[in-house]
Structure 1
Amino acid sequence: MARNVFSGGIPTFRPQGPSANVRLALCVALAVFLMVADVRFKLTEPLRKAVATVLFPMQWVMLQPVLLIQGGASYFEDLNKAQAAAVTAEKNAIALTHRANLVETLDHENQRLRQLLNLVPRLKTEGRAAQVVYETADAFNRRVVIDKGEVAGIARGSPVMDEMGVLGQVTRVFPMSAEVTLLTDREQAIPVLNPRTGARAVAYGEPTNAYGGGMELRFMPSNADIQEGDLLTTSGVDGVYAPGLPVARIVKIERRADSPFARVYCEPLAQMFGTQFVMVINPLPEDALPPRPPVETKTQEGPASTPRKGKRG
């Protein structure tokens, strides 16, 4: 005989446990706590490194079919370009050889003049080659990931270049990879020098400017001696980038009568997107930086007292 379901009383449809609002509040509080703890105490940094190390082989395996398809499609096109480039290289070989000899002579003369003037010798930077694995899918940040990390000796803060100029800076290092923040990122700033005038400035990343340049010189006076087409190089005053590295070129200058500063838009020389091979430059050693001048402390001194003359007997 079937059991009467209503014999035990009216069934309740009330959910067991805390309400949905209480659970939502607990989840929000836990999320805020984890975010604050990660920012303050870096609690998830070891976990992030472990996950990146585990996922790196999977990312590499998944990228191989894509690279194979791209390489097969562009093989014949690259072959024709390589043949044309070989012909052009042969034509320019004689001119480049003459220019190399001239540069070597000027380099020796520069070294002698620096020794005569007792100037600080130029810093020689070393680096290691790396390959860009992928670009981060973030609309607000401009970053790429390379296939070298702590195992290869990559350090945080190392400048990164391609064959044309400075590309960015290493901002996060993992055991087998590293993250490079490009110069066009909003959080990036680099001290630059105009070799034509010797003026120093700071270039900030601006990926969405009106001229597509990607960088902007801020706080430049309206009467500053700058021109469109001027080359900007690293000044070396920050102790991160070696001096003389090509950075960008000025593409547009806006001088307004209602503002004491001009808006200067720049185009990076390096290829921000699509580059495959880069050079990671070693950070400058601390002993290579110019010493800071000592700070003079002024002491308050009272009026000088004249010594008393003794009486003659």
Structure 2
Amino acid sequence: MPLGTLDRTAPPFFKQGPSALSTLVFFAALALFLMVADARLGITPPLRMAISTVLYPLERIALQPVAWVRGGLGYLQTVQSAQQMEDTARQQMLQQSQRANQVEELLLENGRLRALLALRPRLTVPEQAAEVLYDAPDPYTRRVIIDRGMLQDVAVGSPVIDEAGVLGQVTRVHPFLAEVTLLVERDYAIPVLNTRTGARSVAYGNPASDLDGGLELRFMPSAADVQGGDVLTTSGVDGVYPAGLPVAKVDRVERRADSAFARIHCIPMARMEGARHVMVLQPLSEQLPPRPAATPATPQGAAVAGAPRGKPAAGAARPVAAGAAPAPAAGTPAAAVAGTGAARSAAAASTAGSRLATPPDTAPASAAAARKPALVAPAASAPAPAAARAPSATPRAAPATRAAAQL
């Protein structure tokens, strides 16, 4: 067959469609329409939901093999971890059983010793369960709100603990709610006891120490016996927290040559973030015996203890009225006393005569001074010797002579 007679047209089955450019323009316009319809008209969501509902069984069937493989691997891992946990729990149970036997013996011995020394029995602190509702809205404080308040006998100062240790303390009480300040609040102080050494100290809150906050022991000497891993418990000396509650564990100790104090960072035992269920304890101060009343201080210049009140001490001077002769001192001769009395009587008589003869406006200053009662203040110090205070035996007639001359 000659080549020019061949039919070069495509068979009907392999006939070519529209051109590539036409196809591109059509599908681009369709995509643009679907995007506009999905964003503006809201036509596609029902269609999408229908397609998703139809394809859901197929998706589940396709995912079943993957779920079976994951379930099998998880089962094997769970069995292996369960066996390891069982072995660990058995070992811990054996250790705890040995410690329990020792604790029973120690409790009996402690009871006998306390009875022998007649010590007061340990206090039992009442407690009640509570649930943490939410954190305080203030972002600058570390507080939580619990669902117990004044109507449930929650008081300010009540300690709050969780399953791991001390969480904080109640600082504000409402009728149905209460605010609990966490241990990591800035400068929050709690007395602690190092269980390894028995040394007492004070732990302060430091919210910037770690991500969740922590505690630090301040004013501890660089040579203090504190190591990483030491457990700190409440000492019970503050009258708020019962003794023996876990507080924190020492994380690291920083000792520097240029400082006399060490920086001791601690990690709280309780969960400062995510605590859900807690226990509210009654403050220890409500169960302690009352403190003795303070003895009032003795004012300065008070009477000496042992001396009877209302009676002057021996040798102390007494007030003397005007014109009256003072009492004779011990050891003064009787003649000297009599002479002195006569002289004073004569002086008083002459003074009275001068008052009658002299007008009131020209009265001498001596008469005005004589009208004032001559009071002698009591001596605050030791009395002078009797010989030093004894009046002269010779009568003093000088005032009487001057008065007679004026008359």
Question: How high is the TM-score relative to the length of structure 2?
Answer: 0.49
Q: C-alpha distance in 2, partners of 1:201/1:100?
A: 30
1:279–1:291 Cα change, 3 Å: same
Q: Is residue 132 of structure 2 the alignment partner of residue 136 of structure 1?
A: no
Shift of 1:297: 7.3
Q: C-alpha distance in 1, partners of 2:261/2:82?
A: 47
8 Å contact from structure 2 (residues 130, 279) kept in 1: yes
Shift of 1:110: 1.2
- SS of match in other structure, 2:169: strand
Q: Give CA-to-partner distance per residue, 1:142-170, whole Å, 9 cap, x none.
A: 11111111111111110000111100001
8 Å contact from structure 1 (residues 184, 206) kept in 2: yes
Q: Is residue 213 of structure 2 the alignment partner of residue 188 of structure 1?
A: no
Q: Greater CA radius of gyration, 1 or 2?
A: 2
- Corresponding residue for residue 250 of structure 1: 250
Q: Is residue 286 of structure 2 the alignment partner of residue 260 of structure 1?
A: no
Shift of 1:198: 1.9
Structure with larger RCO (C-alpha < 8 A, sep 6+): 1
Q: C-alpha distance in 2, partners of 1:156/1:132?
A: 17
8 Å contact from structure 1 (residues 170, 179) kept in 2: yes
Q: Give CA-to-partner distance per residue, 1:125-150, whole Å, 9 cap, x none.
A: 22011111112243321111111111
- SS of match in other structure, 2:237: coil
8 Å contact from structure 2 (residues 240, 285) kept in 1: no
Shift of 1:90: 7.0
Shift of 1:262: 1.0
* Counterpart mapping for 1:128-277 below 5 A: 128-209=128-209, 214-277=214-277
8 Å contact from structure 1 (residues 191, 201) kept in 2: yes
- Corresponding residue for residue 17 of structure 1: none
Q: C-alpha distance in 2, partners of 1:256/1:145?
A: 40
1:140–1:246 Cα change, 3 Å: same
- Corresponding residue for residue 118 of structure 1: 118
Amino acid at match of 1:233: T
Shift of 1:195: 2.1
1:198–1:162 Cα change, 3 Å: same
Shift of 1:185: 0.4
1:109–1:291 Cα change, 3 Å: farther
Give the superposed CA RMSD: 3.3
Segment of structure 1 superposing worse, 178-187 or 117-126: 117-126
1:231–1:296 Cα change, 3 Å: farther
* Counterpart mapping for 1:35-184 below 5 A: 88=86, 91=90, 96-184=96-184
- Which segments of 5 or more consecutive residues in structure 2 lack a partner in the other structure? 1-73, 305-381, 383-407
- SS of match in other structure, 2:131: strand
8 Å contact from structure 1 (residues 213, 265) kept in 2: no
1:279–1:189 Cα change, 3 Å: same
Q: C-alpha distance in 2, partners of 1:227/1:293?
A: 42
8 Å contact from structure 1 (residues 213, 266) kept in 2: no
Amino acid at match of 2:204: Y
- SS of match in other structure, 1:104: helix
8 Å contact from structure 2 (residues 132, 278) kept in 1: yes
Which structure carries more strand by proportion? 1
Q: C-alpha distance in 1, partners of 2:135/2:193?
A: 29
Q: C-alpha distance in 1, partners of 2:198/2:293?
A: 22
Amino acid at match of 1:203: A
- SS of match in other structure, 1:262: strand
1:256–1:120 Cα change, 3 Å: farther
Shift of 1:96: 4.0
- Which segments of 5 or more consecutive residues in structure 1 lack a partner in the other structure? 1-76, 306-313
1:178–1:213 Cα change, 3 Å: closer
Amino acid at match of 1:253: V
Question: How high is the TM-score relative to the length of structure 1?
Answer: 0.62
1:93–1:221 Cα change, 3 Å: closer
Amino acid at match of 1:204: Y
Q: Which runs of structure 1 show a deviation greater than 6 angstroms over 4 or more consecutive aligned residues?
A: 292-301
Q: C-alpha distance in 1, partners of 2:274/2:134?
A: 9
Shift of 1:104: 2.7
Q: C-alpha distance in 2, partners of 1:138/1:164?
A: 26
Shift of 1:276: 1.0
Amino acid at match of 2:221: P
1:295–1:215 Cα change, 3 Å: farther
8 Å contact from structure 2 (residues 212, 272) kept in 1: no
Amino acid at match of 2:131: Q
8 Å contact from structure 2 (residues 166, 245) kept in 1: yes
Q: C-alpha distance in 2, partners of 1:183/1:220?
A: 19
Q: C-alpha distance in 1, partners of 2:293/2:117?
A: 20
- SS of match in other structure, 1:115: helix
- SS of match in other structure, 1:156: coil
Shift of 1:285: 3.9
